[in-house]
Amino acid sequence: MLLAVWSCKPPASRRDIGERLAEKGWKPATVLNFLYRLEAKGWVKSGKDQNRNIYTPTITKRAYSVWIMRERLDAVFGGDVAAAVRALVSESGCGQSELEQAIAQGIRQKPLSHHLTEHPSDANRNMNQIGG
């Protein structure tokens, strides 16, 4: 759903978003239901343009990716980054030199800034605490 919202020029109508999901079998009522859910989570903001609802994402793809990775890291590895990296490296088939390059690049690069919004409905994790 968020991919469809991000693929539209903001603000996007439910119809614009629904057109991107129709080929996957989404019905207009389902699209609207999920837009309400995303709004409740604070991930989209709704407004009005004459007689139609419009939606604007309040979270970037990068910010959402960081958030979802953190959620999975906590759920699967109990927040242990080292264990997650070990598992990823052991299953990815990457060699020592590739790993060293990735580490060196990560050290050299400043974290990219991204827009994170606060989500009061998420009692377990404030999105502003995740690298924002």
Look at 7 and 92; give whichever has higher pLDDT.
7
pLDDT at 103: 78
Per-residue pLDDT, averaged over 104-126, amounts to 53
Confidence of residue 110 (pLDDT cuts 50, 70, 90): low
Residue 76 pLDDT greater than 90, yes or no: yes
Nearest by Cα to 43 from 113, 119, 114, 130: 119
| Strand partners for 49 | 52
Residue-level pLDDT at 97: 82
> Rounded distance, CA 73 to CA 95, Å?
23
pLDDT confidence of 111, banded at 50, 70, 90? low
Dihedral sign, Cα of residue 11, residue 16, residue 18, residue 24? negative
Residue 49, SS3? strand
How much is the pLDDT for 132? 31
Give the whole-angstrom CA distance, residue 109 versus residue 94: 21
Write out pLDDT tens, residues 77-99: 999 988 888 888 888 777 778 87
Bridge partners, 56 (sequence order): 45
Chain-wide mean pLDDT for the chain? 82
Torsion, Cα 91 97 102 108, to 10 degrees, reads 160
**pLDDT (tens digit per residue) in 43-74:** 999 999 999 999 999 999 999 998 999 999 99
Give residue 112's pLDDT: 54
- Is 80 exceeded by the pLDDT of residue 34? yes
For residues 28 and 9, give the distance between their C-alpha atoms in angstroms, rounded to a whole number: 19
- State the Cα–Cα distance between residues 14 and 28, nearest whole angstrom: 8
